[in-house]
Structure 1
């Protein structure tokens, strides 16, 4: 089933035909003929959405919405209205209704709206479940945030690999969080009480990387004034994380292979062998099986277990959770409470390709939390970056998303120009009042901000 719908309408024929249509569309339907009866169904654990007629005897749809959302604040409510009730419905949307449908309605449009609302409700419940897990646990859900199937699979594979105490290769694009996964592998293993030692193989000059890995004695080379313990020795009994291992020079690959095979290293300038017992976790953007510059014997020594960390564009349902998580962490007393992230914001997030992955998302979320005037779209490419901010966004968004962003920007600029005067905005944009109201609701534009 796509989701659960509580359908409320006092007209039996309309209620029954709508119920049949929704069941054919794979929704679970609970139908009631009055708001009072519907309230007996609703509770804090209700997993679905509410679709209600507005005009009903006794408690009407608006009163039902108010009481329902008092009990379940995030409950999506879709109002079914007559033609003359549109202004009232728009006002209700500003009070928290998800959407409204005018009678007589096209069944396909109702199904489409309900489908979106059920998906939103599902994400809300998953978000709530995740937040409860984070609050009550100190386990993997507290470290790796996500509800997508690929991330759930990664968590399961990670926990299995952590207890096996074998070498691991983590594959993933830049900014996906490979070091975080490596830290989790270390923390949930028997080596967690010892050192986790990360090193970025591409960030250290080739002339120094051997000394960084294996250490050196005083006087081993020019500038070596005193003995230095290398990363291998420092990670003894713990975990050594070799990030971007595909950039490791060929001559060092041989030494690492020997250290893994024999369990011994030698500092530069010293002939004494030092026993080491450690776990290697490597990370790579490239497939090491086909990387010509990477030794295959070292690959097979490392590739006992491999994990794949998907980019954000392959797990879109995680994007709003991660954005809100990092934005909430960035909120300070001076910046005030975090602004509500709207459906339009979520659409922008999920349409964007996030080439920088979680690293880029984290920075965008921090900008959004600290600057109360920035929209989510603005955070993707700051306008003071010295280039046209709209062009990169356009290359990553669908045509519908670009048109929506353009429409929202035009309305906001016109409202600002006329200081919130709706009549002046209608005249300049040549829009009827109802159309302008609907677009302002759709794009979560508050006129009061422009007065």
Structure 2
């Protein structure tokens, strides 16, 4: 439970900090101890990946001053305060300042573990959200998330770079699970509005009344601006645009028209319309549709992306293997063909689920990729495979994946790759050139 999360224990009493450290270490946490707040502050910063456990009464800088210094570094740092008998009023004040919780001596060690686990989970979520926000605001980073070398993905990346620089509103559509929200973030991150706000809301998540308040105001919470104001100067991303009621479509159109050209706030509308035989144009009022679809991006379904399927599966497998502390599954030629033939009705989102379950199966030493695909398609799609492809395409896709995986595993060592794949250097160089693989990508 505590794997990878650090606990900093700050107490001037050696026996106390050692006993807390031993107990939390038995619970799976990585612990570090400090005899004073001053020492702890030398090692703790705003990105500290863990939890602080501190006594309140200490010589020099006491726990309350220490807490204030920590909150100044990062108000989200989870700090558990340890109080003596009669210090409860001080502990309540600590909670007001920002402490995560407090324990009164003598405390139950199991209660300490429970609090540490909750605080650690809270910290992990905070840091993950920060990392995600940084990634989604960095154009170069987010573009790297659009993995794939197929013609479809090359065109998509070019469209994002071109349209990202433009001012017109954009409509993004495509099948479920193709990554439409990621593309919306990318459009914002590569454009001139990247330093401004990116505000997103699902039109399918609220009632019409609540949608009206959140979008146009007045909000129930007086501290909150309506989203059209919050996003001013930046990008307002409206997911599930097809669910926007007609009355609010009219208000959105008025907002767009009042902005003039170029618009101060860019609208990126994301359509997730799954109704058979209907498009976004069928459900939106025509004048609004044509304003939103001044520029349009349609994401390719995964089944049309060829070798990207194997590239994505491999990368996802490596990520989940690292997360679960085990080896990634090695894909056989037969499994590669099955991955390429699968219809992928859930697209990339479905591939992510299959890759994670394949890693868990591999950790247990049982199950096959084919069984995962069969189970998925029985639930979501009546057909096991898409239309067949020439054998040459399957062979080349598997060969590219094999060389890519081996180069990645050996960090670009040509000698090791030649030895493992039993290939002479010239043949390996020719195949890497054929498949667009460069040694520099693996170093």
What's the TM-score, normalizing by structure 2?
0.50
Structure 1 Cα separation of the partners of residues 323 and 155 of structure 2? 37
**Paired residue for 1:300, among 290, 313, 338?**
290
Q: CA deviation at 1:397?
A: 2.4
Q: Aligned-pair distance for 1:227?
A: 4.8
The one of 260, 265, 276 aligned to 2:256: 260
Change (3 A) 1:142 1:230: same
| 1:378 maps to 2:354 | no
Quote the offset at 1:396 in angstroms: 2.1
5+ long unaligned stretches in structure 1 = 1-136, 218-223, 265-275, 384-388, 402-451
Pick one of 197, 204, 207 that aligns with 2:206.
Answer: 204
Aligned to 1:108: none
Contact 2:341-2:385 at 8 Å conserved across structures: yes
Which residue is equivalent to 2:268?
Answer: 281
Residues 183 and 288 from structure 1, CA distance in 2 versus in 1: closer, same or farther, beyond 3 angstroms?
Answer: farther
Q: Is 2:310 aligned against 1:323?
A: no
CA distance in 2, matches of 1:334, 1:206: 42
Over 3 Å counting, the alpha-carbon distance change for 1:335 and 1:176 in structure 2 is same
CA contact (8 A) 1:288 1:294 kept: no
Aligned residue among 177, 180, 183 for 2:179: 177
* Paired position in structure 2 for 1:246: 242
1:157 to partner: Cα distance: 1.2
The answer as to 2:333 corresponding to 1:343 is yes
Moved more, 289-298 or 350-359: 289-298
Cα 1:290–1:232 change in 2 (3 A) is closer
Does the 8 Å CA contact 2:197/2:231 hold for their aligned counterparts?
Answer: yes
SS at match of 2:307: helix
* Deviation of 1:213 (Å): 1.1
Distance 2:144 2:324 in 1: 27
- Work out the CA distance in 1 between the residues paired with 2:387 and 2:167: 48
Q: Which runs of 5+ in 2 are unaligned?
A: 1-138, 390-443
| Aligned partners of 2:174 and 2:272 also within 8 Å | yes
Partner residue, 1:396:
384
Give the match's secondary structure for 2:149.
Answer: coil
Instruction: Tell me by how many angstroms 1:289 deviates.
Output: 7.3
What is the alpha-carbon distance in structure 1 between the residues aligned to residue 179 and residue 289 of structure 2?
A: 22
Query: Judging changes above 3 Å, is the alpha-carbon distance between structure 1 residues 394 and 290 closer, same or farther for their aligned structure 2 residues?
Result: closer
Q: Find the residue that maps to 2:383 and give its secondary structure.
A: helix
- The answer for the alignment partner of 1:117 in structure 2 is none
* Distance in 2, Cα, partners of 1:236 & 1:196: 9
Give the Cα separation in 1 of the matches to 2:387 and 2:290: 46
Report the Cα offset of residue 165 of structure 1. 2.4
Query: CA shift at 1:172, angstroms?
Result: 0.4
Give yes or no for contact 1:313–1:353 (8 Å, CA) kept in 2: yes
Aligned pair count reads 243
Q: Does 1:230 align with 2:226?
A: yes
**In the alignment, is the contact (CA less than 8 A) between 2:317 and 2:329 conserved in 1?**
no
Residues 359 and 302 of structure 1: is their aligned pair in 2 closer, same or farther, counting only changes over 3 Å?
A: same
Does the 8 A contact of 1:214 with 1:232 survive in 2? yes
Q: Which residue of 2 aligns with 1:309?
A: 299
Question: Is the 2:176–2:346 Cα contact (8 Å) retained in structure 1?
Answer: yes
* Aligned alpha-carbon RMSD (Å): 2.9
Deviation, structure 1 residue 394: 6.8
State the 1:343 CA deviation. 1.5
Name the CA distance, whole Å, in 1 between partners of 2:379 and 2:142. Answer: 38
Are the equivalent residues in 2 in contact too, given 1:140–1:184 (CA < 8 A)? yes
Determine the structure 2 residue equivalent to 1:162: 164
Alpha-carbon distance, 1:382 to partner:
5.2
Q: Secondary structure at the match of 2:171?
A: strand
Residues of 1 paired with 2:383 and 2:323: CA distance?
A: 36
Provide the TM-score with structure 1 as the length reference.
Answer: 0.49
Q: Is the 8 A contact 1:352 1:393 kept in 2?
A: no
Whether 1:142 aligns to 2:144 is yes
User: For the residues of structure 2 that align with 1:399 and 1:236, how far apart are their CA atoms?
Assistant: 47
Q: Deviations over 1:209-248 (max 9, x none)?
A: 111212325xxxxxx3645322222212211111121121
Contact 1:201 1:248 in 2 (8 A): yes
Judge conservation of contact 2:165–2:190 (CA < 8 Å) in 1. yes
Work out whether residues 168 and 306 of structure 1, in 8 Å CA contact, stay in contact via their aligned partners in 2: yes
Match of 2:355 among 344, 365, 381: 365
Name the larger-Rg structure: 1
